[in-house]
Amino acid sequence: MHSGEITIENITKIEGSAGLSVKIEDGKVTDLKFLIKDYRRFYTQAVKGKPLIAVPSFLSRICGTCSIAHLLCAIEALEKSQNISPSEQTMKLRRLAYDGLMIRDHALHLYFFVLPDLLGIDSILDIPEDHDNFGHQLLHDSFEIKKVGSDLTTAIAGAIIHAPLPTIGGFLKTPDETLFPQLISQLEGIRGLVLRGIEAFASTNDQLVRNSDYLALRNDSNYDFLVGDVINSSGKRISEENYHAFMNSVIIPYSQAEGYVFSDTKEDYLVGALARVNLNKDLINKRTSNDAEKYLRIFPSNNVYHNNLAQAIEILNCVDDAVEILNTIHIVPEKIISSAPTAGIGVGVIEAPRGTLYHKVEVDAKGLVSDYDVIVPTAQNQINIENDLKKYFQENLSKEKDVLRLEAEKIIRAYDPCMSCATNFLKIEWIEE
Amino acid sequence: MTNTKKLVIGWFSFTCCEDSTILLTEMLNEHLSDWVKKIEFRYFKALKSDNSIVDLDVAFVEGAISSPSQEAELKKIRENSKYLVAIGSCAVTGQPSSCRNSLVPEEINYKISWYLSHFDYSKNVQKIEDFVKVDDMVSGCPMESKHFLEVVTKYLTLFNIN
């Protein structure tokens, strides 16, 4: 394609609404816009004035698929604002609920959104009812994998979406320990299926390599989504509280969400499973490392399609991590830790399925929220996605328009973007470029 | 003679967190094998790229309406559907997606104003029934899955699909 325009009104098989428009003139990409189209709900404004106890469940409504991530990130920020340190048992239970989220959420993305690309079909709805068909086998694997993730989260947190049990200072109800043997057996039962998935998602020949910088949470003792410092591939390491200073927001006039670059270099960066495995693969669960060793050797990788493989490996990591915890934890009755409201500021940073998530709260002396800020993974990836697409189009202009469209969608899909998240907060500091 | 008629449905999302879509993808773990025999998913953006809004038997709509373009899209869906079901709290009540309706003027800072003026936001976020006739409602945040299954069964029966 030498000159012309490519417009995708609605990118499909992603979470939420986004589009793409590309202008090509005389063999050059002259304009490319990745458009986040969900309408904003201004939740971080609406939360102001609310009592702090009401905040986590309200903000879990930012996103349907990763609501547990927003719930736990808000709880962390609020606990820190009130100087509350959750118990060891609470942290283990949160970790279990989160393993369940990662298993279900990654499996949804990989098997329902990405698998059709791998099979060369439009949709999982087109997979034939044939037990010998490879696509049929993987699809039915995914039903079991997703169900186990959901069962785990439900057993610990009460539901997979907008979970009712996790709260500031603990759990409103501790889980029924008699369910654990069954959960362990279910988790062991899907290991083989998860390994088959890893092999399948490693089989792609798709490649888009750009020298991206990566950012993720790191806890030096284990592969942790909830606790750690923020690190990047340039070797910087900062505490969660300083995360905001790490980046500048950039207005993207045609998008309903801001983008982000590093504050010092002004360079774009990538967050998500690829960043986590690139930066933390030495911390992956030992059992996972043994069984997925061949695939872990692929990392660190600069191929954005390997975000899919990284997610598949993380599913196994979460299965093995959950089995370890369930085998060793003994639930004791615990009271929720609470204290009289006090004025304070708290920051929560966790790894959501799609990358690093930041919540910051300011609470007044009456325990009411006076300010709130959220930075989500998809907003951080937005500029990286555009720059990847510019490189892709510039290098592939000889291809047919239909191929360009399909491959552009596949690149965007590899990021597992979530538009619901990207459009439902409002930045505190807005730096006009 | 075998009845080959399938229930032709569309699944649509407006302003919300799409939690009912996510819940539906979980329900597919158990129901997809049966539903593909009885249901044609003619519009389901989360699962396919070949989508159409023509001649739907039932449109399932989640989310609230934030803009004139969403309103026009909703009316187009209604015109092309025999029945329309509002799905989840935002579609049924507007809440919580409509929380911006209650922001007082001093809370509409320049950042919010920028977004409201650069995109086609309506003055208020509204529920589905404010714009079109709604035949059934499945409330909940996310939708109540048992009630949703009852509604699916109701329409399968109505269209004589077993």
Across chain A, how many H-helices and E-strands are there? 14, 14
Could you report the per-residue pLDDT of B117-158, keeping only the tens digit for each? 888 999 999 999 999 999 999 999 999 999 999 999 999 999
pLDDT value for A229: 96
Phi-psi region of A228 (alpha: psi -120 to 50; beta: other; left: phi over 0): left
- Going by their DSSP bridges, the two strands B7-13 and B39-44 should be labelled as parallel
Collect all residues of chain A within an 8 Å Cβ-Cβ radius of residue B103: 42, 45-46
What angle, 0 to 180 degrees and rounded to 10, lies between the N-to-C axes of helices A134-157 and A180-202?
140
- Under 8 Å CB-to-CB from A71, ≥6 apart: which residues? A56, A57, A59, A60, A162, A163, A166
Q: Taking Cα atoms as reference points, which of A327, A287, A318 lies closest to residue A181?
A: A327
How many Cβ atoms sit within 10 Å of the Cβ of residue A272?
Answer: 30
* CATH number of domain containing B142: 3.40.50.700
CB A339 within 8 A of CB A53: no
Mean pLDDT value of segment A318-331: 98
pLDDT value for B3: 57
- Under 8 Å CB-to-CB from A376, ≥6 apart: which residues? A62, A352, A354, A357, A418, A421, A422, A425
Taking one residue from A and the other from B, the number of pairs with CB-CB distance under 8 angstroms is: 130
Q: Which of A36, A61, A65 to mutate to test the interface with B (most CBs of B within 10 A)?
A: A61
CB–CB contact A123 B47 (8 Å) = yes
pLDDT at B34 over 50: yes
pLDDT at A298 over 60: yes
| Residue A71 maps to a domain | yes
CB–CB contact B32 A143 (8 Å) = yes
Mean pLDDT value of segment B32-51: 95
Q: Which helix (H) or strand (E) holds B147?
A: helix B145-158
Could you report the per-residue pLDDT of B77-125, keeping only the tens digit for each? 999 999 999 999 999 999 999 999 988 787 777 778 888 888 899 999 9
| Residue B13 maps to a domain | yes
Residue A334 Cα, gap to closest chain B Cα (Å): 29
Residue B139 Cα, gap to closest chain A Cα (Å): 15
- Going by their DSSP bridges, the two strands A247-250 and A259-262 should be labelled as antiparallel
Distance of CA B133 to the CA centre of its chain: 13
CB B60 within 8 A of CB B21: no
- pLDDT-derived band of residue B2, with 50, 70 and 90 as boundaries? low
Could you report the per-residue pLDDT of A39-88, keeping only the tens digit for each? 888 898 899 999 999 999 999 999 999 999 999 999 999 999 999 999 99
CB–CB contact B26 A160 (8 Å) = yes
CA distances from B45 to A187, A431, B50, B157 (A): 31, 34, 8, 26
pLDDT value for A334: 96
In chain A, what percentage of residues exceed pLDDT 90? 78
| Residue A61 maps to a domain | yes
Mean pLDDT value of segment A200-221: 93
Residue A274 Cα, gap to closest chain B Cα (Å): 23
Residue B63 Cα, gap to closest chain A Cα (Å): 11
Q: Considering CB atoms only, which of B20, B22, B48 is closest to A123?
A: B48
Q: Considering CB atoms only, which of B23, B47, B107 is closest to A45?
A: B107
How many Cβ atoms sit within 10 Å of the Cβ of residue A140?
Answer: 17
Q: Order of strands across the sheet with A229-232?
A: A237-238, A229-232, A213-218, A269-270
* 3-state secondary structure at position A149: helix
Query: What value, to the nearest 5°, has the Cα angle with vertex B107 and ends B102 and B108?
Result: 90
pLDDT value for A357: 96
Collect all residues of chain B within an 8 Å Cβ-Cβ radius of residue A46: 96, 99-100, 102-103
- pLDDT-derived band of residue A12, with 50, 70 and 90 as boundaries? confident
pLDDT at B52 over 90: yes
Q: Which helix (H) or strand (E) holds A259?
A: strand A259-262
pLDDT at A146 over 60: yes
* CATH number of domain containing A316: 1.10.645.10
pLDDT value for A423: 65
Q: Taking Cα atoms as reference points, which of B68, B50, B58, B69 lies closest to residue B12?
A: B58
pLDDT value for A425: 46
Residue A225 per-residue DSSP state: S
CA distances from B137 to A290, B28, B84 (A): 50, 20, 9
Helix segments in A203-299, DSSP class H: 273-280, 286-291, 293-296
Phi-psi region of B9 (alpha: psi -120 to 50; beta: other; left: phi over 0): beta
Nearest CA in chain B to A13: B46
Mean pLDDT value of segment A243-252: 82
* 3-state secondary structure at position A217: strand
Collect all residues of chain A within an 8 Å Cβ-Cβ radius of residue B9: none
| Residue B146 maps to a domain | yes
Mean pLDDT value of segment A268-273: 95
pLDDT at B54 over 50: yes
Q: Taking Cα atoms as reference points, which of A244, A132, A137, A257 lies closest to residue A199?
A: A137
pLDDT value for A426: 39
Q: Taking Cα atoms as reference points, which of A392, A379, A416, A423 lies closest to residue A261?
A: A379
How many Cβ atoms sit within 10 Å of the Cβ of residue A267?
Answer: 15
What's the start-to-end Cα distance of chain A, in Å? 33
Helix segments in A60-131, DSSP class H: 67-81, 88-107, 115-119
A344 DSSP β-pair partners: A363
Amino acid A235 reads G
Distance of alpha carbon A211 from alpha carbon A213, whole angstroms: 7
| Residue A97 maps to a domain | yes
Collect all residues of chain A within an 8 Å Cβ-Cβ radius of residue B45: 10, 12-13
* 3-state secondary structure at position A418: strand
pLDDT value for B1: 45
Nearest CA in chain A to B69: A39
Mean pLDDT value of segment A234-240: 91
* N residues, chain B: 162
Q: Which of B22, B28, B74 to mutate to test the interface with A (most CBs of A within 10 A)?
A: B22
- Under 8 Å CB-to-CB from A153, ≥6 apart: which residues? A68, A97, A100, A101, A104, A159, A160, A163
- pLDDT-derived band of residue A430, with 50, 70 and 90 as boundaries? very low
Query: What value, to the nearest 5°, has the Cα angle with vertex B131 and ends B125 and B136?
Result: 105
| Residue B41 maps to a domain | yes
- For A403, the domain range is 43-422
- For B110, the domain range is 7-158
Residue B45 Cα, gap to closest chain A Cα (Å): 5
In chain A, what percentage of residues exceed pLDDT 70? 97
Q: Which of B8, B9, B17 to mutate to test the interface with A (most CBs of A within 10 A)?
A: B17
User: What's the mean per-residue pLDDT of chain A?
Assistant: 92
Give the global pTM. 0.95
Nearest CA in chain B to A16: B18
pLDDT at A197 over 60: yes
| Residue A15 maps to a domain | no
CB A15 within 8 A of CB A34: no
| Residue A35 maps to a domain | no
CB–CB contact A143 B30 (8 Å) = yes
| Residue B2 maps to a domain | no
Structural domains of chain B, count: 1
DSSP per-residue letters across B45-92: TTT-S----SSEEEEEEESBB-SHHHHHHHHHHHHTEEEEEEEHHHHH
pLDDT at A255 over 90: no
Provide the b/e sequence for A61-87 (b: ≥16 CB within 10 Å): bbbbbbbbbbbbbbbbbbbbbbebebb
Collect all residues of chain B within an 8 Å Cβ-Cβ radius of residue A108: 22, 25
Structural domains of chain A, count: 1
Distance of alpha carbon B40 from alpha carbon B105, whole angstroms: 46
- pLDDT-derived band of residue A431, with 50, 70 and 90 as boundaries? very low
B 64-103 → A contacts, CB under 8 A: 66-67, 70, 96-97, 99-100, 102-103
Residue A398 backbone phi and psi in degrees, to 5: -75, -15
B 130-159 → A contacts, CB under 8 A: 141-142
pLDDT value for A142: 98
Collect all residues of chain B within an 8 Å Cβ-Cβ radius of residue A161: 19, 22-23, 142
Mean pLDDT value of segment A371-377: 92
